[in-house]
Amino acid sequence: MSDAISLSQNAPPQTVAPADAMPPAPADALDVGGFVPMSTVDWPDRLAAVVFVQGCPWRCHYCHNPGLQPRCAHPAHGWARVLETLQARQGLLDGVVFSGGEPTLDRALIPAIRQVRVMGFEVGLHTAGLYPERLAECLPLVDWVALDVKTDFDDYKAITAVPRSGDPVRACLDLVLASGKPHELRTTWHPDLISDTMLMRLARRLKAAGARRWVLQSYRATPSTEASLGTGVRTPPDELVDRLRRTGLDLMVR
Ligand code: SF4
C-alpha cells in the first residue's frame, strides 16, 4: 500500500448498469475497504478511481489508514458495487488504481484487475512489496506500479514492526525493475524513522539496482500518527535532497 493515501467514502453511483452488461463479480470477490471514484493524485497524469483493498500485516508507524490493516469480515464496500460505479464512468476515467492496505494480499486481486481491463480501463497498482509471487503475476496485467521502499532493506523492522520485512521488498524491487513497466519508488521521509545515513545507503542501493525514478514523500501527520511522530508536515532538507540527487537518481520530493 501507499504511505500517503486519503480514504474517502464512495459517492453513490450515478447510474447503475444492467447486470448483464457487467463483468460478473467473482464468488471470491475483492475485499474492498474504501473507494474513491475519481482522483488526480494517485496516478501521475491519469484521472483514476482508487480501490483500497482491506488488510495489511505490517504496522508502520506512519500508516495513514490503520483501519485498513485488519482483514475485515464486513468490508465497507462491495466489489460488485465498485464495478457498477466503474461501469457508469467508462470514458470518464483513464484507469483504476488498486491500493490498500496491501492489495497483493488479496487472492481476488488478479481476477479484479482482469475485470477492469475488460471494461477498458488502464490499471495502476500501489504496493508495499510484501508478496513477490503475487506481484509477479500482477505485473504483466498492470500499466503502472508504485512500490514503497520504506528504508534500507536491513532496517525495515524499525518502520514496519515486523522482522525481516525488507526481504520481500528487495525481491519486489527486482521484479518491478526487470518488468520494464512504468513505475515509481516511494519513500516517506521523517527524521525519526530514517536517518540521512540510511537514506544515502538506500539511494546507492536503488541506483545500483537500476532504479531511476524515486519519490521522497514528506511526512504528513494524521490523527493516528501525530502522537508518535508529531504534527504538521516534515519535509526533507534541501541539502539532503541535493546529496541524494548526486547519486544520479531521478529524485522528486512531494
Ligand atoms: S505497508 Fe501496511 S501498515 Fe504500512 S503504511 Fe502500508 S498499509 Fe499501512
pLDDT attached to residue 212: 87
> Which atom of ligand 1 approaches the CA of 102 most closely?
7
Q: Which residues line ligand 1 (CB under 6 A)?
A: 1, 3, 56, 58-60, 63, 68-69, 100-102, 128
State the closest ligand 1 atom to the C-alpha of 68, by its place in the atom list counted from 1. Answer: 7
Tell me, in angstroms, the distance from the centre of ligand 1 to residue 118's CA.
29
* Prediction pTM value: 0.88
| pLDDT of the residue at 126 | 98
CB-CB contact of 42 with 97 (8 Å): yes
How many whole angstroms from 1 Cα to the centroid of ligand 1?
6
Q: Give domain 19-253's CATH number out of 1.10.10.10, 3.20.20.70, 2.60.40.420, 3.10.20.30.
A: 3.20.20.70
pLDDT for the residue 76 = 61
pLDDT of residue 209: 94
Residue type, 93: L
The 10s digit of each residue's pLDDT in 114-162 is 999 999 999 999 999 999 999 999 999 999 999 999 999 999 999 999 9
Q: What pLDDT is stored for residue 250 in this prediction?
A: 95
Say if CB 222 and CB 187 are below 8 A apart: no
Give the C-alpha separation, 196 to 216, whole Å. 13
The full set of domain ranges for the chain reads: 19-253
Buried/exposed code over 93-114 (b: 16+ C-beta within 10 A; e: otherwise): bebbbbbbbbbbbbebbbbbbe
Q: Are 216 and 241 in contact (CB under 8 A)?
A: yes
Mutate to test the pocket of ligand 1, among 98, 102, 225 (most ligand atoms within 8 A of CB): 102
Give residue 128's identity as a one-letter amino acid code: A
Q: Locate the ligand 1 atom nearest the alpha carbon of residue 65 and give its number.
A: 8
Residue closest via CA to ligand 1's atom 6 equals 1
Question: In DSSP terms, which residues pair with 233 in a beta bridge?
Answer: 220
Label each residue of the chain as H, E or C: CCCCCCCCCCCCCCCCCCHHHCCCCCCCCCCEEEEEEEECCCCCCCCEEEEEECCCCCCCCCCCCHHHCCCCCCCCECHHHHHHHHHHCCCCCCEEEEEECCHHHCCCHHHHHHHHHHCCCEEEEEECCCCHHHHHHHHHHCCEEEEECCCCHHHCHHHHCCCCCHHHHHHHHHHHHHHCCCEEEEEEECCCCCCHHHHHHHHHHHHHHCCCEEEEEEEECCCCCHHHHCCCEECCCHHHHHHHHCCCCEEEEC
**Distance (Å) from CA 60 to ligand 1 centroid:** 5
pLDDT at 61: 87
pLDDT at 228: 86
> In a mutational test of the pocket of ligand 1, which residue from 59, 63, 65, 225 has the highest number of ligand atoms less than 8 Å from its CB?
63
pLDDT along the chain (254 residues), means of 10: 38 31 56 95 97 95 89 75 95 96 96 97 98 98 98 94 96 97 95 92 95 93 89 94 95 95
